[in-house]
Amino acid sequence: MKLYHKVGAGLLGLGSLLLLYLLQVAKESGPAHLAHFPPAQVSKAQQEPRLQRKTGQRSPARAGKFANVRKPGKQQHFRAAPAEQWMHLAVVACGDRLEETLNMLKSVVLFSYGKVRFHIFAEDSLKPEFDNKLRQWPSSYTKKFEHNIYPITFSVGNAQEWKKLFKPCAAQRLFLPVILKDVDSLLYVDTDVLFLRPLDDIWKFLKKFNSTQLAAMAPEHEIPKIGWYSRFARHPYYGSTGVNSGVMLMNLTRIRNTQFKNSMIATGLTWENMLFPLYQKYKNFITWGDQDLLNIIFYFNPECLYVFPCQWNYRPDHCMYGSNCKGAEEEGISVLHGNRGVYHDSKQPTFKALYEVMRDFPFGDNLFQSMYYPLQEKFLENVHTLCGRIPQVFLQQIEKTMKRVYEKHVIVHVRSNNIN
């Protein structure tokens, strides 16, 4: 009988320690708003740990040094960055882009795990509005990011000419390596971008760069015969279809330290010294402004560019002429780029629906109930459209991200309660 009591006391002690550990893990993992799920979903999720073992997924505690190894054919979600490691994101907003930019930033804080520094370049009239809006977000979200707001500035050439090069202020992105001298690496995105999975995942591509690569972009098109650059460009461009600069990951330190080959002088030029002469030479031949200049730069320096798969910069071009982004069909869209103004007209209702649901989602609400289910309903209304015929392309990554954090919060709590 004494032995029975000793064993029981030992098991009780171990159970208490395990419960404390699991509660601590749940407390530190991911956005808290995902923990409030309806009871029916909790009971369904309780069955999923066994399914995870069958598919070969390891828990973070057991994965060890192999946690980030990609397995062929498997969807990869990178682990969150260490708490002390900041990710940096830059955006340039002028004119009427306040709401669009805030919606993009909202998608970052809803889905990301690591901490982010936002570098917002904006016209003077927008600066106080950005600051006020961001400070009004709930503290559970504002603790995940810091933000700096900068004026629109161009270090070389005529500022007004740069400002009007393409869309208002878009050329500002060319000067980020010069302005943000204390930032090592940075993700630049257009205002009309939405993240459908954690920013942490795209940030990890920096580790995939080889010794010469210093930036990453996705192709402008997947099929040369219907691509814009391959049909109409009057200047050099990267690869067979050119690249799109709406999502651009940069190692700024490498950019600042590199001498770039060019078509102007035999010796290399630094990034800053190259920009204005390059613009002067090609300004009568470029259509898409700063994006064309980037294509010219990487035409002469192809070894410097890492190319993203298309699902990391998914645009209407990938579905309006028929589906031509195989990566999105297999893995879902990771980063949605609503160029052509599709968030604000009725030409591509699937893009507009996702933008509006993200915009209208109340901070702190249940993501499945207030975002995922409304999206499903809206997409069912648009299955007759080219971009809406495969709703899962838009929903797959959002669902995986929600599930991942949901399991960390809800299943851990359910299992710990069952132990007792």
Q: Pick the more confident residue, 300 or 401.
A: 300
pLDDT of 172 > 80? The answer is: yes
Beta bridge partners of 314: 336
* Dist CA 247 CA 335 (whole Å): 8
The confidence band for 68, taking pLDDT boundaries of 50, 70 and 90, is: very low
pLDDT attached to residue 249: 98
Q: Is the pLDDT of residue 327 over 90?
A: yes
How far, in whole angstroms, is CA 224 from its chain's centroid?
Answer: 26
Q: What is the pLDDT of residue 412?
A: 52
pTM: 0.78
Residue 350 corresponds to which tokens in the numbers above?
A: 């699937």
Cα distances from 34 to residues 48, 49, 77, 364, 405, in angstroms, run 17, 18, 18, 8, 7
Mean pLDDT for 357-372 is: 92
Residue 266: the pLDDT is 87
For residue 410, the 8-state DSSP code is I
- In the block, tokens 């359910």 appear at 414
Query: Does the structure show a pLDDT above 80 at 159?
Result: no
**What contacts 24+ positions apart, CB below 8 Å, involve 228-234?**
229/295, 232/287, 233/287, 233/292, 233/295, 234/285
pLDDT at 333: 97
Average pLDDT rounded to a whole number, residues 394-409: 82
135 has pLDDT over 50: yes
Structure confidence by residue, pLDDT tens digits, 262-315: 989 988 999 999 999 999 999 889 888 899 999 999 999 999 999 999 999 999
User: How confident is the model over 355-380, as a mean pLDDT?
Assistant: 93
- DSSP H/E element including 236: none
Q: Any idea which residue has 């590199």 for tokens?
A: 258
Q: What pLDDT score was predicted for residue 411? A: 57
Please give the pLDDT value at position 35: 38
* Percent residues over pLDDT 70 in the chain: 75
Largest CA distance in the chain: 93
For residue 298, count CB atoms less than 10 angstroms from its CB and return exposed for 0-12, middle for 13-18, buried for 19 or more. buried
Contact 202, 334 (CB under 8 A): yes
**pLDDT attached to residue 157:** 66
pLDDT at 260 over 80: yes
Q: Kindly write down the DSSP assignment for every residue of 342-353, as one continuous string.
A: TTSSSSSHHHHH
Q: With 50 as the cut, is the pLDDT of residue 8 above it? A: no
Q: What is the mean pLDDT of residues 21-35?
A: 42
Average pLDDT over residues 230-246: 93
Residue 167's pLDDT band (cuts 50, 70, 90) = low
Give the pLDDT score at 58.
41
pLDDT tens digits, 71-99 = 334 444 444 444 458 999 999 999 999 99
Q: Please check the confidence at residue 352 and state whether its pLDDT lies above 80.
A: yes
Which pLDDT does position 169 carry in this prediction?
Answer: 83
pLDDT tens digits along 183-215: 999 999 999 999 999 999 999 999 999 999 999
Name residue 269's amino acid: L
Q: Is the pLDDT of residue 42 over 60?
A: no
Please give the mean pLDDT across all residues of the chain.
Answer: 81
The SS3 of residue 241 is coil
The answer to whether 82 touches 180, Cβ cutoff 8 Å, is no
DSSP character at residue 308: P
Read off the pLDDT band of 335 (50, 70, 90): very high
Looking at residue 407, its pLDDT comes to 72
